[in-house]
Amino acid sequence: MSKSNETGASESRWALSPEDLKRLSKEAKAYKGESLWSDAWRRLRRNRTAFLALLFLAAFGGISLIAPFLPIPSPIALSLRDDAAPPQWFWEEPLALPKPPAPGTGMTQSKANLWNDGWRHRTMLTVAAQDEASAEAAKARIEEVAGRSAALEIRDAEDAPEGEAPKLAYVSVPHLRSDAPDVIATETDFRGNATVWRYDAAAVDSSEPDLEEEGSAEENTAEDGPTEDSSVTAEPDWRVVCSLELKDRNGSPFDPDQVTTWSVDQRTRKVELFLTRKDAVEGLGSWIVRFKLKEAFESSAVTLRLNGQLLEGSLPMIDSTPVDAQIVEAQLFKGVEHDDLGRRLKRSFESSPIAGAAFVGARHESGYWPFKGIVGKFDDLLLAARIKVFGLWQTGNWMGTDSQGRDLMSRIVWGSRTSIIVELIASLCSLLIGVLYGAFSGLMGGRIDNFMMRVVDVLYSIPFIFVVIFLITLIGDYRTLLEDKLGLDREKVFYIVIGAIYWLTMARVVRGQVLSLKNTEFIEAARVIGASTSRILLTHIVPNVLSIVIVYLTLTIPAVMLFEAFLSFLGLGIEPPKVSWGLLAVDGTQAINPIKIYWWLVVFPSLAMGTTLLALNVLGDGLRDALDPKLRGKS
């Protein structure tokens, strides 16, 4: 209702009654106008090439955003190849990803069986070795203890005294799929032999006293494959290995098709059965879980689920009495826990030393650590989602691998993340600092404008490449100091520099626009009605320069991308093991040699970069046309 605070006399000046107004304001909703923005959007959509470019960029951005979700190999997971592998067609069996060992078949030592999950972790073991032979011997020992193949890299020790232990052997032991903690590995075999394991940190601590004994048992069983029932006692009790035997009411094996999966949670001591059908419950006679734990599972803690839904009231149907122990088969799974691997190796090196080799330490390297902290929790969520959706399946090397066996496709995808972050920083700086600075400067005019623009000139005159080189060198020397005191690592310096440069031109562009805008009549009109400077700036000037800003942004983004690639190419930008397109370009240039042509290392990164730059330029052009009010209504 219109309740005017004006006097009655002035109210009568208006022709429309409150009822009229009410009705008209309802009707007015049918006459929504089209803003210049929606008009521009409509025209952009009509511009087919620009719209395609927009779609392409959106798809590309989306892919790089959800990179952890995609079933692609880790961009930094090394395989033990010593040469770059050409692309494999996607119907080909992935070479680097052999099938996981079937449960019960145990580990083999061959390279082909190396199951490098990639997107998970590895353990880096450092050994001080006198020569290569001793390093090889140490590697053999490590492989023996870990029960799987390892990769060896020998480097000169940096601070080693003259003549003593000149080499450091780095042996990387990849985690196996089965090592993956917190993950229920789902096996397809449910015919009474399903194996489920979960890592339980609490159980590790409690198992400490058993370790001595377990060490020898490990060595014994490493080559034997799965342990039989008899060896269950030697099995470390924190490694929960259990099997489930289901029987129907008649005592014969339960129809395995009725059960999708089951899980045993050590922490809660609960067993869950996932059934396929509701009536399967009736046929279920008994169950038994064979395990070795300090506490037993409670039968009442067994829950039954159908398609993930809890089946209420079905618990009494289950007879949890352990049946005959003989028919229970426990599958031992021998995993490698990497902290533990370090301990075991230490012990192994102590008990049977290798000449010329001394165990230095073990370091756990997380597969994704370089990317943590940028998106952080979001990445973790995506990773969890990936495991839920794709399980452990991942693509082959569709674009080949680089010389260290890292998957090129995932490197391109992950590298585009770096590009996007750099672009985001540059655009944000341009938008926030550049637009406001330029608009304020232009609007104030006079001395303030003069001063503000001289600041921009001064910043412009700084040769930023040299600043970057200087800062990077500084960081190299005072790395720990800077990182500890200022939290300033190389990457942050790099981003700061990008941010510092890219608002300058924007400020100039915006200022120029504002100078021409501020004498337009609608700005004068706003002054006449008494609008404050900040109001004019934010409600009239900024929205009106935004179209130019957007066009300018789309055209600067390629420049930022190239700047990033250029600095990374020089070794001043992103550091390995992080990926960026600049680093891929480095790989590409190194791959160009007359003996063997690693074409995929050149072609795919340049395709990715080229199409993105092209799309950005096409989009910028289309946006300029779409946002130009003079071209409204024209082709």
Using alpha carbons only, give the angle 247, 249, 253 rounded to the nearest 5 degrees: 25
**Residue choice 8, 27, 326, 350 for contact with other proteins (CB under 8 A):** 27
Q: How far apart are CA 255 and CA 277, in angstroms?
A: 11
- Binding of residue 30 to other proteins (CB under 8 A): yes
- Binding of residue 15 to other proteins (CB under 8 A): yes
Return the beta strands (E) in 180-293 as ranges. Answer: 195-196, 242-248, 259-265, 270-275, 284-290
Picking from 9, 323, 1, 11, the residue whose alpha carbon sits closest to that of residue 192 is 323
Q: How far apart are CA 249 and CA 266, in angstroms?
A: 27
- Minimum CB separation from other proteins for residue 554, in Å? 19
Q: How far apart are CA 242 and CA 191, in angstroms?
A: 14
- Binding of residue 528 to other proteins (CB under 8 A): yes
Picking from 325, 228, 234, 319, the residue whose alpha carbon sits closest to that of residue 281 is 319
Within 311-394, residue ranges assigned H as helices are: 338-351, 377-390
**Residue choice 110, 216, 520, 589 for contact with other proteins (CB under 8 A):** 520
Query: Residue 106: CB partners within 8 Å, gap ≥ 6?
Result: 224, 225, 226, 334
Q: Which stretch binds other proteins (CB under 8 A): 204-212, 266-274, 423-431, 527-535?
A: 527-535
**Residue choice 183, 420, 531, 602 for contact with other proteins (CB under 8 A):** 531
**Residue choice 251, 391, 610, 629 for contact with other proteins (CB under 8 A):** 629
Q: Which stretch binds other proteins (CB under 8 A): 6-14, 256-264, 347-355, 557-565?
A: 6-14
**Residue choice 32, 294, 596, 630 for contact with other proteins (CB under 8 A):** 32
**Residue choice 216, 269, 524, 590 for contact with other proteins (CB under 8 A):** 524
- Minimum CB separation from other proteins for residue 8, in Å? 14
**Residue choice 62, 391, 543, 576 for contact with other proteins (CB under 8 A):** 543
Angle between helices 504-517 and 542-570 (to 10 degrees): 160
**Per DSSP, what are the bridge partners of residue 259?**
275
Q: Which is nearer to other proteins, 469 or 531 (CB)?
A: 531
The separation between the first and the last C-alpha atoms of the chain, rounded to the nearest angstrom, is 46
Supply the DSSP string of 446-485, one letter for each residue.
HHHHHHHHHHHHHHHHS-HHHHHHHHHHHHHHTHHHHHHH
**How big is the site for other proteins, counted in residues (CB under 8 A)?**
49
- Binding of residue 269 to other proteins (CB under 8 A): no
**Residue choice 395, 544, 554, 556 for contact with other proteins (CB under 8 A):** 544
Q: How far apart are CA 522 and CA 457, in angstroms?
A: 31
**Residue choice 209, 487, 530, 594 for contact with other proteins (CB under 8 A):** 530
- Minimum CB separation from other proteins for residue 40, in Å? 11
- Minimum CB separation from other proteins for residue 522, in Å? 5
**Residue choice 4, 268, 300, 516 for contact with other proteins (CB under 8 A):** 4
- Minimum CB separation from other proteins for residue 466, in Å? 32
Q: Which is nearer to other proteins, 44 or 609 (CB)?
A: 44
Tokens 């398609």, located at residue: 307
Picking from 336, 365, 354, the residue whose alpha carbon sits closest to that of residue 114 is 336
What distances in angstroms separate CA 195 from CA 102, 237, 246, 273, 408, one per listed residue?
Answer: 11, 15, 13, 13, 34
Q: Which stretch binds other proteins (CB under 8 A): 10-18, 82-90, 225-233, 479-487?
A: 10-18
- Binding of residue 377 to other proteins (CB under 8 A): no
Q: Which is nearer to other proteins, 446 or 594 (CB)?
A: 446
Q: What's the half-sphere exposure (Cβ side, CA atoms, 13 Å) at 246?
A: 26
- Binding of residue 2 to other proteins (CB under 8 A): yes
- Binding of residue 58 to other proteins (CB under 8 A): no
- Minimum CB separation from other proteins for residue 517, in Å? 10
Tokens 């490698």, located at residue: 336
Residues at the contact surface with other proteins, assessed by CB under 8 A? 2-6, 10, 13-16, 18, 21, 24-25, 27-37, 43, 46, 520-522, 524-532, 535, 539-540, 543-544, 629, 632-635
